[in-house]
Amino acid sequence: MSDKKWLLLGLLLIAASWIGNLLYYQSMQLKEPVFLRHYSELDAAAHEFVTLLYLENNHAKKKVTNIIIEEMPQLRFDMHEWRRYTHQTLMRATAEFDPEYVRDKQKDRITVRELTVLYSDGTSKTVPIGELAFDFHERSRVLSSLSSGSSSSGSGFITARAEQELALLAIDCSFQDKMAPLLEISLNDQPIESMQVPLTFAKGDSFAIRYQWKIPATGSARYEVFYPKLKLTFQAQDGEIIYDYMILNYNYYLNEKQLRAFVRAGGEVY
């Protein structure tokens, strides 16, 4: 092949590289920031941080500038870059409860399913967020946590001690229907579904909760963020019904391939 033909071939390859890469780049862009669906139960009375995850293009002109929860407009969110991918960034928005607001709150529980998002281009939009349950009920803790841990494989454990004599009447998880196929929980190695209650604990008795997340590699659950509580219903010695809870940790992770599938679906995977 002559020099000129080689040169022409090279030029054609360069043109193909430009066309192919630009088309692919365009196909890998979200139209606008997308909020993941969250299933979170938060103890507002204990001032738990509100954390929301959303995806935006790395070089987006349209960025999230503010998030408003209509039911709790005093919450001020700060946005931080959490994990950067080739074309998108997973952003984390966090907000803290104002203690005065919590104290003055009349309601015990607020459930939020939509947010108002304000963008850098001056527009705003109401977006679905899944379900955020805020519990404002002040409660005294009857359990003390001894140790806890979780791994990136989705497993975790909590050991706790009863601070008084208690009879465990029920144990269940927030968003039970949603969580049932995604989470396996056991108490002292006994699956909670087949556990015989009541279970009595003397003051100072400890017990272990083990859990394992079973999130499929594909499907909508992969793009959902879980922050459930394991809710324990006890009866004290004097007959009083007491509720306590434990946090089941979920280490949210998306790989590049899963993110690409999400972008290709235009964020419409739910």
Partner 1 sequence: MTAQTAKALTLIGWGFVFNLLDIRIVFFDLLPDFIGYMMIASGLGKLASHAATFERGRRIAVMMIFLSMPHVLMDSNVTFSDFAMVPIGVHLYGQVLLLLHLLLAYSVFNGWIEMAKQLQQETLQESARTRRDWYVFIFMIHLFFYPFLFNLPEDWLLLYLGISFVSIFIELLFIRLPFRFRKLAEASETR
Q: Which of 8, 46, 47, 59 binds partner 1 (CB under 8 A)?
A: 59
- Residue 111 burial (C-beta neighbours within 10 Å; 0-12, 13-18, 19+): exposed
Q: Which of 10, 99, 149, 266 binds partner 1 (CB under 8 A)?
A: 10
- Give the shortest CB-10-to-partner 1 separation in angstroms: 4
21 binds partner 1 per the rule CB under 8 A = yes
Residues numbered 76 to 115 that lie near partner 1 (CB under 8 A) are 84, 86-87
The radius of gyration of the chain's CA atoms, rounded to the nearest angstrom, is 24
* Residue window 206-245: x/- pattern of binding to partner 1, with contact defined by CB under 8 A: ----------------------------------------
Between 28 and 167, name the residue whose CB sits nearer to partner 1. 28
- Give the shortest CB-13-to-partner 1 separation in angstroms: 6
Between 7 and 241, name the residue whose CB sits nearer to partner 1. 7
Task: Compute the Cα dihedral for 164, 167, 173, 174 and give only its sign.
Answer: negative
Give the angle 224-227-231 at the CA atoms, nearest 5°.
135
Residues numbered 251 to 270 that lie near partner 1 (CB under 8 A) are 256
- Please choose, out of 24-32, 35-43, 193-201, 262-270, the segment that lies near partner 1 by the rule CB under 8 A: 24-32
Q: Which of 8, 24, 111, 149 binds partner 1 (CB under 8 A)?
A: 24
Structure tokens at 3: 């020099």
Where residue 204 falls (left for φ over 0; alpha for ψ -120 to 50; beta otherwise) is left
Instruction: For residue 166, give the nearest of 241, 231, 234, 245 by alpha carbon.
Output: 234
Residues 6+ away with beta carbon under 8 Å from 164: 142, 203, 236, 237
Between 17 and 200, name the residue whose CB sits nearer to partner 1. 17
Q: How many residues bind partner 1 (CB under 8 A)?
A: 20
Q: Which of 28, 102, 187, 242 binds partner 1 (CB under 8 A)?
A: 28
The 37-43 sheet, strands edge to edge: 64-68, 109-119, 124-135, 37-43, 224-227
**Element (DSSP H or E) covering residue 128:** strand 124-135
Between 22 and 265, name the residue whose CB sits nearer to partner 1. 22
Query: Cβ atoms within 10 A of the Cβ of 210, count?
Result: 17
Please report, as ranges, the residues that interact with partner 1 according to CB under 8 A.
6-7, 10-11, 13-14, 17-18, 20-22, 24-25, 28, 58-59, 84, 86-87, 256
